[in-house]
A and B are shown apart, each in its own frame.
Chain A
Amino acid sequence: MNRLRDGAAPPEGVGRDREQVLARLVEMLNDLTSECDRGFSGGIGPDTRLAADLEFDSVDVVQFALLIEERFQRRKLPFEKLLMIDGRYRDDITVGEVAEFLGVWRGPA
């Protein structure tokens, strides 16, 4: 069972939306990382890790989360369900996991 879905039924169209969501996230991350030296030369894709590959720290992740809420026009997305397991922060997350999270958690527009 998918951990992110937490027992909830996925909204309709999740599979179809996922590639679009992923493409928008990659575009956002390319914008975010283009003007600084992150030391990451590979193309950003679903397996790219925010911390290990893009050198995001916790404040970068907060800013990324805020940008997602603005660009996807959703408010108060439960990012803690993506970033924490059993009350502890995960070591890292991939871009694909963020896309999957956005497909499941629609949040109020």
Chain B
Amino acid sequence: MRRTVGALVAAFVLIGSSPALAAGEAAVPPSMKWTFDGLFGSFDRAALRRGFQVYTEVCSACHSLRLVHYRNLTEIGFSEDQVKAIAAEVEVTDGPDAEGEMFDRPGLPSDRFVSPFPNDNAARAANNGALPPDLSLVTKSRIGGPNYIHGLMVGYRDAPDDMEMSEGMEYNMYFPGHQIAMAAPLSDELVEYTDGTEATVPQMAKDVTNFLVWAAEPELEERKRMGVKVVLFLLLLTGMLFAVKRAVWSNVPH
């Protein structure tokens, strides 16, 4: 009996301390204030466009965004002509044509974002054997979501002296295991923002995270807008049905 109680106590101590255990593996990234959080959350359009610029000029050298179409960019405030111009800057392999030949043409709004490498093997070959993951769903597919992606961008440090790093690996305090194949992607003034915002590392990290959350959940705003209406309607209906239920049951002792 005493042993059982001991085991139970140990269990509860363990529940309480498990975050600390996790912290030993990789630090918990700081919780940021995001405009898209909360019941009424929405995207900061200017941040999305700056984030798109960071993705295009920095991330897209190695990371694909294969589930997003250029046409989707109208949702973050680009005009149709701007989207046509953005899409036209990339080369898309199309075909076969009437002669059976594949050919390159400028991109169209209906194209998906063109990936930097033709296949995974090419991506690994160019990146020291590591595969840069597709970013279309990255904020949904990592524990910690946007906070983790943001933390990863700002979490590069010098490795502790007692840690032996493998060749070509960088130290990142928020990456599980701390050894990450991606070199610190951001540095101050790496991009030149057109809206005059100063391109500091934390600013770019926040902007690109905003953009990637939109890329992963383009329905987020519509979902929350609709959710508020649906829940309000259901609350009202539930309240009314409760009143009806009480009225119907008022002559039945139970």
B is bound to A: no
- List A residues at the B interface (Cβ < 8 Å): none
- List B residues at the A interface (Cβ < 8 Å): none
